[in-house]
Amino acid sequence: MRTTLSLDKDVAAQLARLRRSSDANFKGLINEALRRGLRELEGKAPRKSSFETSAVSLGRCKLGDVDNISDVLAAAEGESFK
């Protein structure tokens, strides 16, 4: 089959480097790259492992009510937090 491909500059440069280093012809390199890429694309995506976070009991709140931030800061830093 004969077709025309438009390659991005980075892809063309990488193919040119491979061709020079392996003394392979351009058509052979393109076909091999496409075969490998198509095999990878057809393969199933790797299954992601599940991740679970386990709960930890921190005990009860030692401050009692934490709705008032001024009271929390006063308990944590003393009355001079202002």
Question: Looking at the predicted structure, is the pLDDT value of residue 2 above 90?
Answer: no
Summarize pLDDT for 26-81 with one digit per residue, the tens: 898 999 999 999 988 888 777 788 888 999 998 887 777 778 888 888 877 877 76
Residue 2 dihedral angles phi and psi, to the nearest 5°: -110, 130
More confident call, 70 vs 25? 25
3-state secondary structure 21-57: HHCCCHHHHHHHHHHHHHHHHHCCCCCCCCCCCCCCC
- Domain residue spans of the chain: 9-42
pTM of the entire predicted model: 0.48
pLDDT of residue 54: 92
